[in-house]
Amino acid sequence: MTARWIGAAVAALTALTLTACGGDPDPATPQAAAASGGGTVTGDITVFAAASLTESFKTIGKDFETANPGTKVTFNFAGSSALATQINQGAPADVFASAAPANMKTVTDARGGEGTATTFVKNQLVIAVPKGNPKAVKGLADLTRPGVKVALCAEQVPCGAEAKKALDAAQVKLTPVTLEQDVKGALSKVKLGEVDAALVYRTDAKAAAANVEGVEFPESAGAINEYPIIVLKKAPNKAGAQAFVAYVLSDKGRSALTATGFQAP
């Protein structure tokens, strides 16, 4: 009798301990399930993301869909300022990933978000030049030489704002031949041979390594973009949005981002 009583007591104590420590957890939250590949969310998820996130987010989107059967991630890639305007004008979106906190604040002030935006990566500028660097560009000052045509992002776009910081820090006065509305536009001018150089993110130069080279310059250290992400307040698929953001912040998501050249926050 005593042995049976002791055995029952031990079993009860073990069960209690497992419950307290999460040994028999409640059903996983959408965030935890998505990050671990639990596949508990479904439906369409619309993500508005800065153009510089194109390559990494496409990879993350495919991995997320594989981990969560029944989901479909649709991306809208553009300059962060343009995306912020679209969201504030009522465009339906679940997630916003911006290339700068200022554009994120524009959205959260007007439309609201679930909690606080989280900075998930950083990015740094380089000078993109054609393969072989035919104009022998070694720094920002070289961009002012006669005959060197340069593309920049417009100042209201994060890559343009950071380019201005870097140029001001180097005390370089530059007249670009074109101002583009996102970083991919500036990069395409180099790839097409329409300009000799462009100030773009390191990640974009790396993605286009078959056609361009990225020239590092010291002033870029003072012009680093922080990328925040948030679930929007009126997200049509809030559970899916939360799960996608959780996946971006997971080890798998961060690995995909750093593989394309992003820096840890």
Q: Count the Cβ atoms, other than its own, within 10 Å of residue 247.
A: 25
Q: How far apart are CA 265 and CA 225, in angstroms?
A: 10
**Segment 55-66, tens digit of pLDDT:** 999 999 999 999
Digit-coded pLDDT (tens) for 10-44: 344 334 333 334 433 333 344 444 454 445 899 99
* Cβ-based neighbours of 53, under 8 Å, separated by 6 or more: 77, 97, 99, 227
Examine the pLDDT at 166 and tell me if it is beyond 50: yes
pLDDT band of residue 233 (cuts 50, 70, 90) is: very high
Helix (H, G, I), strand (E, B) or coil at 145: coil
Beta bridge pairs of residue 152: 179
| Mean pLDDT, all residues of the chain | 88
Can you give the residue ranges of every domain in the chain? Answer: 28-121+227-259, 123-224
Q: What span, in angstroms and rounded, lies between the C-alpha atoms of 36 and 259?
A: 20
- Helices 158-169 & 101-110, crossing angle to 10 degrees? 140
Range with lowest mean pLDDT among 34-43, 85-94, 188-197? 34-43
How would residue 174 be classed by pLDDT, with cut points 50, 70 and 90? very high
Q: What are the beta bridge partners of residue 232?
A: 113
DSSP code per residue over 149-197: -EEEE-TTSHHHHHHHHHHHHTT-----SEEESSHHHHHHHHHTTS-SE
Residue with tokens 């005390």: 171
Determine the average pLDDT of the residues in 78-82.
Answer: 96
pLDDT of residue 40: 80
Residue range 249-263: mean pLDDT, rounded? 96
Question: What's the Cα-to-Cα distance from 216 to each of 3, 89, 126, 145, rounded to whole Å?
Answer: 74, 38, 5, 18
Which pair of structure tokens corresponds to residue 114? 């679930």
> Residue 263 gets which letter from DSSP?
B
List, for residues 103-118, the tens digit of each pLDDT value: 999 999 999 999 999 9
241 vs 47: CA distance, rounded Å = 8
pLDDT greater than 50 at residue 91: yes
| Average pLDDT estimate for 144-156 | 97
Alpha-carbon radius of gyration of the chain? 23
Pair of tokens at residue 155:
């100042």
pTM reported for the whole predicted model: 0.82
CATH architecture, domain defined by 123-224: 3-Layer(aba) Sandwich (3.40)
Q: Classify domain 28-121+227-259 by CATH architecture.
A: 3-Layer(aba) Sandwich (3.40)
227 beta partners: 121
Same fold, 28-121+227-259 and 123-224: yes
